[in-house]
Amino acid sequence: MIRPLTGDDRAGWEELWRGYLDFYRAEIPTAVTDRTFERLCSGTEGMFGFVADSGWGLTGLAHALVHPSTWSASGYCYLEDLFVAPQTRGTTTARDLIEAVVTEATAQGLEKVYWHTNEFNGPARSLYDRVARFTSFVVYERPLPPHTP
């Protein structure tokens, strides 16, 4: 079952979140993890989250954020994080999480849902090629120095 993330999901969500960060070899400070969970559960700052709940525990997560766009009157939905527990891969869980985000974005009147993945993420890209259109955009990043108020 796919459902919105709630405050009661913290332990199961955090296990998935850690697995997701490990997959991408990323380290996020605890304070950022805490703030992320809070924003996803409360729906503030345009963020929302879904989880896959098997009845015996959480098996997947999807985090999205809504933002305005200079190319759209209604805005876009960025599917920032998508992760499915290893024991659930090969099922419809990832597709179902994507569809939940698409349904929510549609209900909000947004123009599109988009996401990024690493080039090496072949299994996920195989799914993405079936549920979305691959674009030719290349992503660049430039880290900024820490903000001091």
pTM over 0.75? The answer is yes
pLDDT in tens, 3-34: 999 999 999 999 999 999 999 999 999 999 99
CA–CA separation, 114 vs 80, rounded Å?
Answer: 9
**Rounded Cα gap, residues 125 and 104, in angstroms:** 22
Q: Measure the CA–CA gap between 103 and 133, rounded to whole angstroms.
A: 17
Q: Quick check: helix, strand or coil at residue 81? A: strand
Tens-place pLDDT, residues 80-134: 999 999 999 889 999 999 999 999 999 999 999 999 999 888 899 999 999 999 9
**Residue 74 contacts by C-beta under 8 Å, 6 or more apart in sequence?**
109, 110, 111
Task: List the domains of the chain with CATH numbers.
Answer: 2-131 (3.40.630.30)
| CA-based radius of gyration for the chain | 15
Give DSSP secondary structure letters for 18-44. Answer: HHHHHHTT----HHHHHHHHHHHHHTG
Would you say 69 and 76 are in contact if contact means Cβ atoms under 8 Å apart? yes
